[in-house]
Amino acid sequence: MSAAKVRKAVFPAAGLGTRFLPATKAQPKEMLPVVDKPIIQYGVEEALHSGIRNIVIVTGRGKSAIEDHFDVSFELEHHLESRHKLELLAKVRQVSDLIDVSYVRQKEALGLGHAVNRAQELVGQEPFAVVLPDDVIDAETPCLRQLMDVYEFFNAPVLAVMEVPKESISSYGCIDAEPVSYNGSRNKVYRIRDLVEKPKPSEAPSNLAIIGRYILTPDIFECIGKVQPGAGGEIQLTDALRLQLRSRPIYAVKFEGKRYDAGDKLGFLQATVELALKREDLGAAFREYLKGLNLR
């Protein structure tokens, strides 16, 4: 049977953003700008460029700026239109015109698994993507698209993974997996044997870390409903996947592209510098400026 089409992407965005205080006291961390776009817009554009236009955002208290961002801003658009600032107008409209966004609230931050479960009614009985907005991925082929291709091939859930230094594996979900051949290569796609959330480096089965992109199937909701709080006392998506693994194969893709952890101060700065350098309108001037810094 061929795989059902992935049409929806769920964006968990209810976290408190404590790593970015005080900037996130009155503003969601997903709205912090990297160059000139809020962090979450990078993920939304990735979904769009992968062929997904139904966006489900799981929000919480204090997140209304996200809703306003993807909404029509009548005053702003009118202002730009009447002053013939059409290029800016196009920028403001660009994404919101192309996507269909729904919102669901997660009243308490009880974990990633819990956040995904809040989207169950909006997702329904179909496969869907999950995008963790903190992970900004710069790739020629959008990371989600890479995952969707593998999903369509195996008709099974697929996670994004990347190799990380063993000592930092405890910040991630980690997989134990065996390579499988895909598109003539054996070092890109893995079949997962087991997975564990935030293991100690000494107990980690590999250095393959789960990155915030997933293609999931609707039976995951039942699994999320069954798992007990795990790492950090939270309902973990990794634990639900571990349960799901008992009844069906799950794959992982070592995606091509560069991932930035924009939810971390250093990762945020790296994303800002590198994405600014790649910009046509800014890159050359910014490079000159950086060269002039007396760095050793």
User: What is the binding site for ligand G1P (CB under 6 A)?
Assistant: 112, 132, 135, 172-173, 197, 209-212, 236-238
CB nearer to ligand G1P: give 48 or 210: 210
Closer residue to ligand G1P, CB minimum distance, 70 or 172: 172
Q: At closest approach, how far in Å is the CB of 222 from ligand G1P?
A: 19
* Closest distance of CB 96 from ligand G1P, Å: 26
Beta strands in the chain (DSSP E): 8-12, 33-34, 37-38, 54-59, 100-105, 128-131, 135-138, 158-163, 173-182, 185-197, 208-216, 251-254, 258-261
- d(C-alpha 253, C-alpha 147), whole Å: 7
Least distance between ligand G1P and beta carbon 144 (Å):
14
Backbone φ and ψ for 141, nearest 5 degrees, come out as: -95, 125
Which C-beta is closer to ligand G1P: that of 30 or that of 135? 135
Q: Considering beta carbons, is residue 162 or 275 the nearer one to ligand G1P?
A: 162
Which is nearer to ligand G1P, 114 or 188 (by Cβ)?
114
Which long-range contacts (C-beta less than 8 Å, at least 24 apart) are formed by 89-98?
A: 95/41, 95/44, 95/45, 95/48, 95/70, 96/69, 96/70, 96/71, 96/72, 98/48, 98/53
Bond prior to 218 in cis (omega within 30° of 0): no
Are 67 and 103 in contact, with CB atoms under 8 Å apart?
A: yes
Q: How far is the CB of 169 from ligand G1P (least distance, A)?
A: 9
Burial 25-61 (b: 16+ CB within 10 A, else e): eebbbbbbebbebbbbbbbbbbbbebebebbbbbbbe
- Specify the residue, 210 or 276, whose C-beta has the smaller distance to ligand G1P: 210
As measured in angstroms, the least distance from the Cβ of 213 to ligand G1P is 9
Question: Which residue, judged by CB position, is nearest to ligand G1P in the bound state?
Answer: 173
* Closer Cβ to ligand G1P, 123 or 262, answer by number: 262
Neighbours of 79 (CB within 10 A): 13
State the minimum distance, in angstroms, from the CB of residue 15 to ligand G1P: 7
Beta-carbon neighbour count of residue 271 at 10 Å? 23
Q: How far is the CB of 291 from ligand G1P (least distance, A)?
A: 32
